[in-house]
Chains A and B, each alone.
Chain A
Amino acid sequence: MSKYPVACMGKFLLLILFACLSLGAARPEIKLEIRDHLFLPSELVVPANTKIKLIVYNRDPTPEEFESYELNREKVIMGGQKAIIFIGPLKPGEYPFFGEFNPKTAQGKIIAE
């Protein structure tokens, strides 16, 4: 066995990578705020079967982690900053999320319909 299969694989994977990066189509954007350790709004209605760009603004000075097992997402958002979280396409239903650093207050859900 030579090293050439690895080189071919590398080129092939880079082609796939560039192809993927060029597929970034415009998606519905939804804004969410973290303020006083609460998610505002706490309920978001999104279209089902569509990929969504969720922009989360953390208005608190402390970091927060957006977490949802149902959405398979976790993302730390530093204080005073924003983060982009891509979710879906989701089947119709409810998908809870919470703030890992303040789980008692920072709770919400996404409703796909």
Chain B
Amino acid sequence: MFIDRTLMFPLLPTKAWLAPLTLAAAVTVTPLVAHADGQVVDRVYDPYVQPLEKELEWRTSAIPGKDKTWGGEQIHHLGLGRSFSDRWFGEVYLIGARDSERDLKLEAIELEAKYQLTEQGEYAADWGLLFELEHEREENVWEAAATLISSREWGRWTGTANLAAIYEWGDDFKNEWESELRMQARYRWLPHFEPGVEFYAGQDYRGIGPIIRGEKKLPKASKLMWELGVIQGLTSDSPDQTFRLLLEYEFF
């Protein structure tokens, strides 16, 4: 039986230096796990939910250049979400895409629900589940995903992993199962500047690269959170670089 060591890190001893080492180990063993296509670089979800919280989110992942395979592809998510209890959080996304030959247009709508399974810090790792349902309008393709989220701290390091099982189906489409793995190791240095590294794996894609994350407190208990990353492709089937940017306005 295959055992993925990358997702064992929530049980490892509390050693801060283990976080980046674990991520490095992940890069070497995940090709046996991940099985997905499309643009894999997106965001790494944490498992936490706050009651009363609302958020407005925009995120994009963009592949620069004009090569024939990727053609300067950009995918944009615009989302509005709110929590429904101290465990459930829901969000609706409009998903737009463009490339070097097509202008930006709305391509899909997505519903998302996150469930926090355990209290933060209660166990060796914190756990959550993410459920997503996406409909691509023109091609009438549906995609449903269930993602297991795990996170734990090693001192000022925080390690988070998302393992997704995805099913796609449609009229003129070969129905298929896929999987994705997304991982992040982040150093909580300052509220407005937390450097880290992320790793992504899909069927044809492997990528790793640096990210920075930060947040700025705003009046009335609201805050603006941002993430910026440059993910370097590791395989010949992966684009050289994928840039990702996320802006999230949280309010009550």
Contacts and interface: CB of A to CB of B under 8 A. Distances in A.
A6 B118 contact: no
Nearest to B8: A16
Contact of A65 (B11, B153, B221): B221
Interface stretch (B90-98, B104-112, B121-129, B237-245): B121-129
Interface in B218-232: 221
B140 interface: no
Contacts of B118: 20-21
B2 A5 contact: yes
Given A1-B35, A72-B153, A86-B121, A9 B7 contact: yes
B166 to A, nearest CB: 9
Contacts, number: 92
B127 A3 contact: no
Interface residues of B, number: 40
B120 A73 contact: yes
Given A8-B2, A24-B123, A72 B177 contact: no
A69 B119 contact: no
Contacts of B188: 69, 72
A88 B122 CA distance: 10
17 contacts: A3-B35, A5-B35, A5-B179, A8-B1, A8-B2, A9-B163, A17-B117, A20-B10, A20-B118, A20-B124, A24-B123, A74-B50, A75-B50, A75-B120, A78-B52, A85-B120, A88-B121
